[in-house]
Amino acid sequence: MSDRGLANLSKLVTAKYASARLARALTFADSELAVLPVGEVSFQLRFCPSLAKKPTTPKKDEGSSRSRVDPFQSPDPTLLVAHFAKDSGASPTHFVVLNKFPIIPHHFILATVENKPQTHLLEQDDLWASYKCIEEWEASEGHPGSLFGFFNSGDHSGASQAHRHVQFLPVEDMKHGDTLGHWQLLVDQVADEAGFSEEHQSTNKCAKLPFLCFAESIASHSATELYQTYLRLYERAREAVTTYVAAHPDSLQLHLTRAGHLPISYNLGLTKSRMMLCPRRSEGKMMHRTDGTDIGLVALNGTMLGGTLMVKEEELFRLLKEDTAKLHTVLEYVGIPLGFL
């Protein structure tokens, strides 16, 4: 297989990010950061008021139906970084493009050239291209550090676009603002043996987290083995959701599976050494004041597997900072509770 176009990826992304900011092709927004304990692990909580101002994706008419405009159909050249082809001389299957509204610098996206559904199983080429992004980033000149990849699939996952795409955040950029240096990528926080209790070893269930999450170390860097790891984790998540739905039919239902769509929502997290998969039952949880009025929705996507959450209301940010038990409740609410299985 070929990594055409991804060589020295960190340098490519950094240069394109600088030129795009200069051209005002992307809008970076600062955020206020707090690092909060949740049991044995820690999560970043970012206050991002710009999320409230972020424009919604416009819709276009398609006969009698209305669907979202596909931002990856014709990527903006000022944001386009590189193309990826699985074999030398083959047509590109994926491309790398910058996020237009980053909260964390150098946030980029790997999207399929062909418009494939976000709610189908990932294909082997998707996992391989994603892993090559991580490998090429970490092998780039200047030792840029590691990369965290995440994927959102399904109505409860925090997914915002239907065109298949995996997102990436440089870990060093994620750490910016953590003046005390207390935070680590969540994958690293649960990677030690203590992250898996003996009773959970056979199912690879992360015992440190308030939500059900399955993880495996990446033992082989072959495309086939990488994909088999993903399929094993997905199957465990599907079984967990199916069991939960059978026990709680009034609180969660499986998705319709017409045309290859998957029955569950989930998030995938990926680093060079580990893959994590979290089944979801809700996109977020509404938080309330003591008088019962709404403060705002804590909506989570795959960044939760990196140990990062974002909110757009200052009142909500202060609430979760002051009472970390509420953050634990949110995390348990959006996933399958750890104690269920």
pLDDT digit string (tens) for 30-61?
A: 999 999 999 889 999 999 998 777 665 554 44
Which range has the worst mean pLDDT, 3-7, 162-166, 268-272, 334-338? 3-7
The CA-atom distances, in angstroms, between 83 and each of 12, 93, 98, 113 are 12, 8, 13, 9
Q: How many helices (H) and strands (E) does the chain have?
A: 7, 15
Taking the complete model, does pTM exceed 0.85, yes or no? yes
Q: Which residues contact 95 (CB under 8 A, 6 or more apart)?
A: 75, 80, 81, 82, 83, 84, 110, 111, 113
Q: Which residues contact 308 (CB under 8 A, 6 or more apart)?
A: 43, 44, 46, 104, 169, 174
Question: What tokens appear for 6 in the block?
Answer: 């991804």
pLDDT digit string (tens) for 54-113?
A: 665 554 443 333 457 899 999 999 999 999 998 878 899 999 999 999 999 999 999 999
Strand, coil or helix: 329: helix
Percent of residues in the chain assigned helix, strand, coil, to nearest 5: 30, 25, 45
